Amino acid sequence: MFELVIENNGAEYVAFTAEKKREVELVMECHIRSLTDGTAYIREAKPEKAKK
């Protein structure tokens, strides 16, 4: 599981999550090309535990 994290003015939020790293890379490229504020990076996330 991978997350696209956007960091802006000291705050960060998860903008996108996917199983495949390539999907997250493509979304990150869209963020970069859109000239929006913030730094984008990819991090590996722990898989969510199954809910009962």
Each residue of 13-25: pLDDT tens digit? 999 999 999 999 9
Strand locations in 2-38, DSSP E? Answer: 2-8, 11-18
pLDDT digits (tens, 9 = 90+) for 1-52: 999 999 999 999 999 999 999 999 999 999 888 888 889 999 998 866 755 5
Strand locations in the chain, DSSP E? Answer: 2-8, 11-18, 39-44
Distances (CA, A) of 35 to 2, 29, 39, 42, 49: 23, 10, 10, 18, 35
Q: Which amino acid would we find at residue 12?
A: E
Q: 39 and 11 in contact (C-beta within 8 Å)?
A: no
| pLDDT at residue 2 in the model | 95
